Amino acid sequence: MKKQKGKRPQPVVIETVEGEPTRIGEREFVPVVQVTTRGRRRAFVGAHRVRGEGWGIVRLRPVAVLERSAGGQRRLPIQDRTAQWLGGFLLAAFIVPLLLGVAVRLANSEPGGQEA
C-alpha cells in the first residue's frame, strides 16, 4: 500500500453525552447517548482559484436513562433489540447456506464413500 505524504487518517470521536433532564414527580430522568462523529475536510489552492470540500457523519445511539431521586441514582440500560435481531439474521445468512451445501454433498454421495 502506497502511503501519501501529508495524509493523516481522520479521527473517529466517540463520547457519551447526558441529555436534558425531565422531572416527573419526585424523580428526574436523564437520557444518556453515545455520540460517534467522523468527518473530513480538504482545501485546494490553485493559481486562479481556491476550493474546499468536506463531509461529516454523526451517529446518536441511546444507551441508558439515569433515574435520579431522593434515594439515589439508578442507571437503566437501553438494549437495541433491532440490532440483536439483525445480527442473528446475518449469522443465519452465513450458516444456513453452509449447512445446505453439506447436506446436498452428503445426499449426492454414494454409500461406498465414492462420489459420482
pLDDT tens track for 22-44: 999 999 999 999 999 998 888 88
Most distant CA atoms of the chain, gap in Å: 79
DSSP structural state of residue 109: B
Q: Is the pLDDT of residue 114 over 60?
A: no
Q: What is the domain extent for residue 28?
A: 9-78
What does the block give as the cell for 32? 444518556
Residue 3 confidence (pLDDT) above 50? no
pTM for this one? 0.59
Do 22 and 52 lie in a common domain?
yes
**pLDDT score for 80:** 87
Query: Considering its fold, how many domains does the chain have in total?
Result: 2
Tell me: do 50 and 66 sit in the same domain: yes
pLDDT at 71 over 80: yes
pLDDT of residue 97: 94
Kindly state whether residues 68 and 22 are assigned to the same domain.
yes
- The upper half-sphere exposure of residue 70, i.e. CA atoms within 13 Å in the direction of its Cβ, equals 2
